[in-house]
Amino acid sequence: MKTAKYLKTIALCAVTAFAALPGKAQIFPNTYINVDWQVGVPLGGSFADKASGWGMNFEGGYFVTPAVTVGPFISYQTNLEKIPRQTITLGSGNSLTTNQKHALFQLPFGIASRYNWLKDSILQPYAGLKLGASYAEMSSYYYVVKQYTDTWGFYLSPEIGVSIFPDPGYRLGFHVSLYYSYATNSGDLLVYSVNNLNNFGVRVGISF
């Protein structure tokens, strides 16, 4: 999970840098930046399908009109599940008896667009859509062995949320959103299969 560690380091640096800026300062005019903690819940899956708070989201956008923003995003999510000791039949004459820990790592990135309302208010709601690519890795850990497969797919994610600025004149506030995501990633690992990835979740963070 080295990628997740790198992204956490980037997030910490970004928050530290922005915290040092004056409240009204923006790196670029007519933009926003969000750094979010993310909780993801897989839907309809049979591999690492437990809710997890091991996720983050980073995005930014430029106001191409007074209400519409477009910009890049990248996020990651790791879901874990412990599998009790069991015997798995791997094929003719092959079986494996062990307990396991399953991990599903997702790394989508691409373009985020939003339609924003009430830009001069304390509560600034929006509806958004993210489109892009998704990298996913399915891993099974047993004893000192890791077995994994990785895949690429297309990613689509509608989202609704609100940015909260206690003083609307200052570009430093909070962000809360609900999202659903669909990715076309598919893969097989041992006797387990994943055919498309569906998730819903919550993001809570800081908005600049």
DSSP 37-84: EEEEEEES-SSS-S-B-EEEEEEEEEESSSSEEEEEEEEEEEEEEEEE
State both tokens at 105.
Answer: 């790592």
70, amino acid identity: V
Separation of CA 89 from chain center: 34
What tens-digit pLDDT sequence spans the chain (208 residues)? 544 554 455 455 454 444 444 445 455 678 999 999 999 998 876 778 888 999 999 999 999 999 999 999 999 999 988 877 766 666 666 667 767 788 899 999 999 999 999 988 899 999 999 999 999 998 888 866 777 788 999 999 999 999 999 887 777 899 999 999 999 998 887 767 788 899 999 999 999 8
- Helix (H) or strand (E) holding 159, with range, is strand 145-164
Q: CA-to-CA distance for 177 and 110, rounded, in angstroms?
A: 18
pTM of the model: 0.81
Contact 18, 11 (CB under 8 A): no
